[in-house]
Amino acid sequence: MLTLSDFTKEELYNILKKSREIKSDLKCGNYIRPYLSGKTVILLFQKPSTRTRISFDVGVHQLGGHPITLGWNDLQLGRGETVADTARTFDVYADGVVARVFKHTDLETMAACARAPVINALSDAAHPCQALGDCLTILEKRGKLEGVNVVFVGDGNDNVCRSLAEAVLKLGGNMTIASPKNYQLPPSYVESLKKGASKGAILTLVNDPKAAVKNADVIYTDVWVSMGQEAENQERMAAFKAYQVNSELMSHAPKDALVMHCLPAHRGLEITDDVIDGNNSVVWDQAENRLHAQKGIMALLL
């Protein structure tokens, strides 16, 4: 699972269905479902992580498997061994690989060289596990995904927005992305999103966040400066100043619009305390659902 574009609508719904089943079992006190009994999963992190690292570690354990969590520099990768040779080594020891990397091409190399499934835990191009956790949350809160209006406010070309758009449009929802002119999706990617969308699903790109949220069922934001973009900090802060999700922006949205953020949040920048901690926020449900969505992925894929 490198990007959600490789999956059909039916396959994505099957993952969400499995995720809900496993979550229901957990709520009933059935902590271990042995989908991964006797299996080992390597969790490789080149970038820092809180929710992804913990939820995958806990998830493998709750599915009866054995997680091995490693940093990039814990391995010979840090001394120059190739990604391809590392992936071949993983393949002879483990049943699956979960990797968070800077370059998406490194994931593609791993997937090409290892027979064991490789799961993208975030790359510069995509964050599919986050998007499925988000869709699970929307499904729980709204009862459906088809026809739901999801509005992303911020950097329209970041990895979270890309994967969220892929998932929402493929599952029948409408996606609106409000971003500054220089931070929108490239035309080629817009075309690929439209080709993968369900019949009737609408993708809209706008610059005005107030107009974007007018009919929103869900308002979603992310950090303005992602990992690896620190050199662009000053430029990005200026570009996104008008894209803060605050009470003034929320006053232009329906009163029951849900607020989502993939975390970590830079409070006072892309979102204010009163909104992320407010009654419309489902941010902590999102964080929990990363665990359940990822268990659904692993139960079916591994």
> The tokens of 152 are what?
């992303």
What is residue 68's predicted lDDT score, i.e. its pLDDT?
Answer: 98
Catalytic residues: 100, 127, 130, 222, 262, 290
State how far Cα 128 lies from the chain centre: 5
Q: 301, 294, 300: which is closest to 61 by C-alpha?
A: 294
Which position has the token pair 């570009």? 239
Q: In this structure, is the dihedral angle defined by the CA atoms of residues 74, 158, 293 and 86, taken in order, positive or negative? A: negative
What is residue 226's predicted lDDT score, i.e. its pLDDT?
Answer: 79
CB atoms within 10 A of CB 200: 9
Stretch 34-55: mean pLDDT: 96
Asked if the model's pLDDT at residue 110 lies above 70, the reply is: yes
Give 137-148 pLDDT, tens digit per residue.
999 999 999 999
pTM flag (> 0.85): yes
Do residues 254 and 217 touch, judged by C-beta distance below 8 A?
A: yes
Confidence of residue 231 (pLDDT cuts 50, 70, 90): confident
What is residue 33's predicted lDDT score, i.e. its pLDDT?
Answer: 84
What is residue 228's predicted lDDT score, i.e. its pLDDT?
Answer: 73
Which residues are within 8 A (CB) of 281 and not within 5 positions of it... i.e. 6 or more apart?
Answer: 258, 259, 260, 261, 275
Nearest-angstrom CA–CA distance, 60 and 274: 35
Give 195-219 pLDDT, tens digit per residue.
999 999 999 999 999 999 999 999 9
Q: What SS3 class is residue 29?
A: coil
What is residue 156's predicted lDDT score, i.e. its pLDDT?
Answer: 94
What is residue 31's predicted lDDT score, i.e. its pLDDT?
Answer: 67
Domains of the chain: 4-126+288-301 (3.40.50.1370), 130-285 (3.40.50.1370)
What is residue 150's predicted lDDT score, i.e. its pLDDT?
Answer: 98
Give 48-92 pLDDT, tens digit per residue.
999 999 999 999 999 999 999 999 999 999 899 999 999 999 999
